[in-house]
Amino acid sequence: MRFLLVFVLLVSSALSVAATPPDESMVVEATDNSYVVADISAPDDPQGLRAKNFGGLDFLKIWYASQVQAQEQIVSVGLVKFDLSALKDREVRSAHLQLFATRADLLQPVRMVDVSLADGQWTQSDVTFNTLPQISNPPLASAAVYGANVWYSWDVTPAVVRKVKDGNVGYAIGLRTLETKGEEQVVFASSAAGRNAPRLLLTMAPAASSIPLYALPVGIGAAALLAFGVGLLLGRRRHVRVAPAVTRAQARAVPISHVTNDEEDEAFIDCPACRRQIPAVADVCPRCGARVPAGPVISDR
């Protein structure tokens, strides 16, 4: 029974070491964020909006104003970039872009905000509408925006998985609908705000174990051998404790005439003078001094 218990405990320990650990989570904050602006009704850009940089502000303004003033059609696009170098050689299970809205001025209760892949080199300190990276179409994901002081999330897993090898990934954020003679905006917190910065919430497969695959059967085998050895040791100790007791019991059951020389030291006789028990090997009674004739052993200790 003890052997079985020890074996079960050791095998359970080996299996627990080899059990698959849960997925890991990681939050990656944006390294660059900005937005660009253009009046798409005026290719000659009389206001110089296409060449302006809006990086370093504490907000990302996703905005449009369509024919609010004359024929102007002003549109802005948000840009966010993340460093993926920490994900090298890791299996990404899921990735969600999360932005915190600090303001939402909408003409309808809900507006769809699209997120697309922004493929190309850019930094928040110099990106403009004229240097806007290539924006993928259709969008990667969409989310319904309905108010401020809320985190919004977009599933961008395929883009992250595809861009891990490049070491970074960029996204473009924009309102899907532009109403004529209307103006709407959603303002998100940027990294410069100090809190609620744009982030990627990632779920990854567990890191590869440093224990080789062959370690499990080897460990179980070693545990079994160790348990077997412990079982033998416990059995031997039990045998050593029981054997002397059995021998003494058997000795008491042996007739007096068959007592061995080793056992004579424990035999007694009655003194013929004082009738007290004395050792059978005594020639003189140690109690009364009477001489003791040779006689049969009549009792033991």
Summarised one tens digit per residue, pLDDT across range 71-84 is 899 999 999 999 99
Sign of the dihedral defined by the CA atoms of residues 86, 165, 94, 176, in that order: positive
- Fold (CATH) for 22-204: Jelly Rolls (2.60.120)
For 93-122, what is each residue's pLDDT tens digit?
999 999 999 999 999 999 999 999 999 999
- Interatomic CA distance for residues 139 and 149, integer angstroms: 24
pLDDT at 130: 96
Residues shown for the chain: 301
Coil, helix or strand for 110? coil
User: CA torsion sign, 147 to 27 to 129 to 116?
Assistant: negative
Nearby residues of 34 by Cβ (< 8 Å), 6 or more positions away: 53, 54, 55, 56, 57, 60, 78, 79, 124, 127, 190
Distances (CA, A) of 229 to 14, 18, 128, 224, 241: 18, 24, 75, 9, 19
Distance CA 10, CA 86 (A): 37
Low-confidence ranges of the chain (pLDDT < 70): 1-21, 208-266, 294-301
Tell me, what's the pLDDT at 211? 53
The amino acid occupying position 49 is L
Q: What does the DSSP assignment read for 20-48? A: PPPPEEEEEE-SEEEEEEEETT-TT-TT-
Domain residue ranges of the chain, discontinuous segments joined by +: 1-21+209-253, 22-204, 257-301
Please name the helix (run of DSSP H) or strand (run of DSSP E) that holds residue 252, with its range, or none: helix 215-253
Tokens of 132: 């806007």
